[in-house]
Amino acid sequence: MAEGDNRSSNLLAVETASLEEQLQGWGEVMLMADKVLRWERAWFPPAVMGVVSLLFLIIYYLDPSVLSGVSCFVMFLCLADYLVPILAPRIFGSNKWTTEQQQRFHEICSNLVKTRRRAVGWWKRLFSLKEEKPKMYFMTMIISLAAVAWVGQQVHNLLLTYLIVTFVLLLPGLNQHGIILKYIGMAKREINKLLKQKEKKNE
């Protein structure tokens, strides 16, 4: 067991080091984005919502086709991939890179690797379920996809995308400040109250 844990830790370290090397040119930008997403300042959450809202208002106003939207998005990614490693050291100053920043950059890359591993793990579990319990897999997929299709039919695509993007960008800050755990705890307490009331009525 310990040998397996050591092997997993070593593999995690190798994958993290590889990702750090690939994203080295994005280090300053990633640290700034990390500060914004974790809400290190009180005005960061409304700023994130404001930028996202402005972006989606522009998309709504221009009303591009799917092909045009995808092409512009990929073009933006290509430009960012080319320009960010060149401009970031000049804007932020590469000589200001400290040990603390390097440690935080390492933690961010490690978290990204762990997130990728979780996603791959869930994907493998899904296919394991397909092989082991095909009927359950079929019913789960049909019900889930039907629910998603119903929601997509009821809510405008752009509005739905806006809500998802906003939630995903606010999620790290919500998690960092314990807001999600707070509301989950409140929901559990309310459910427990309802269950106790039901038990009393049954008695």
pLDDT bin (cut points 50, 70, 90) of residue 202 is: low
Domain count, the chain: 1
Q: Contact 84/29 with Cβ under 8 angstroms?
A: yes
- Residue 95: pLDDT above 70? no
Show the domain range for 32: 1-132
Residue 174 lies in a domain: no
Residue 92 lies in a domain: yes
Average of per-residue pLDDT values in the chain: 86
Residue 27 to residue 32: CA distance in whole angstroms: 9
pLDDT digits (tens, 9 = 90+) for 124-145: 888 888 888 888 888 988 999 9
3 state DSSP class of 29: helix
Residue 78 lies in a domain: yes
Residue 88 lies in a domain: yes
Q: Please tell me the chain's helix, strand, coil percentages from 3-state DSSP, rounded to the nearest 5.
A: 90, 0, 10
Residue 146 lies in a domain: no
Residue 42 lies in a domain: yes
